[in-house]
């Protein structure tokens, strides 16, 4: 899986973003992993809803438009949950719980993936 870097307004936010853009990588997501490092995230494309079955830790999820605008932030999603579809979402970014706040991310921000 290719690794991307995540930027906001030209500032590097996360330097290890897995690009899950194929069926199997999206299907597996973060399931069965024991943990995730704080500088790590997973970008699911295309995706507009997620579940946390098979997960062992809480995550923050960020619904993004096709243009990478943040549409919705769901903080501290625990294992064994299903989250509803987010209107106009095309991607979902999964982060360690608490990371969205630490990075100062808000609805309306635009992220860049390189």
Per-residue model confidence as pLDDT tens digits over 24-43: 678 777 766 777 888 889 99
List pLDDT tens digits, range 59-87.
999 999 999 999 999 999 999 999 889 99
According to the model, what pLDDT value does residue 105 have?
A: 98
Q: Is the pLDDT of residue 107 over 90?
A: yes
Between 94 and 22, where is the model more confident? 94
CA distances to 25, 32, 35, 59 from 56, rounded to whole Å, are: 18, 7, 7, 10
According to the model, what pLDDT value does residue 46 have?
A: 96
According to the model, what pLDDT value does residue 63 have?
A: 98
DSSP label at 99?
H
According to the model, what pLDDT value does residue 37 have?
A: 80
Residues shown for the chain: 114
List pLDDT tens digits, range 4-30.
999 999 999 999 999 988 876 787 777
Mind listing the domains of the chain with CATH numbers?
3-113 (2.60.120.1140)
- How many Å apart are CA 44 and CA 63, to the nearest integer? 10
According to the model, what pLDDT value does residue 32 have?
A: 65
pTM equals 0.92
């Amino acid at each position: 899986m290719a690794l991307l870097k995540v930027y906001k307004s030209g500032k590097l936010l996360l330097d290890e973003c897995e690009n899950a853009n194929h069926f199997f990588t999206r299907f597996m997501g973060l399931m069965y992993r024991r943990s995730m490092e704080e500088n790590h995230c997973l970008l699911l494309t295309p995706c507009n809803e997620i579940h946390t079955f098979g997960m062992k830790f809480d995550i923050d999820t960020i619904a993004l438009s096709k243009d990478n605008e943040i549409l919705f932030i769901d903080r501290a999603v625990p294992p064994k949950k299903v989250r509803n579809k987010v209107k106009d979402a095309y991607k979902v970014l999964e982060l360690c719980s608490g990371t969205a706040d630490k990075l100062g991310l808000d609805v309306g921000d635009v992220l860049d993936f390189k």
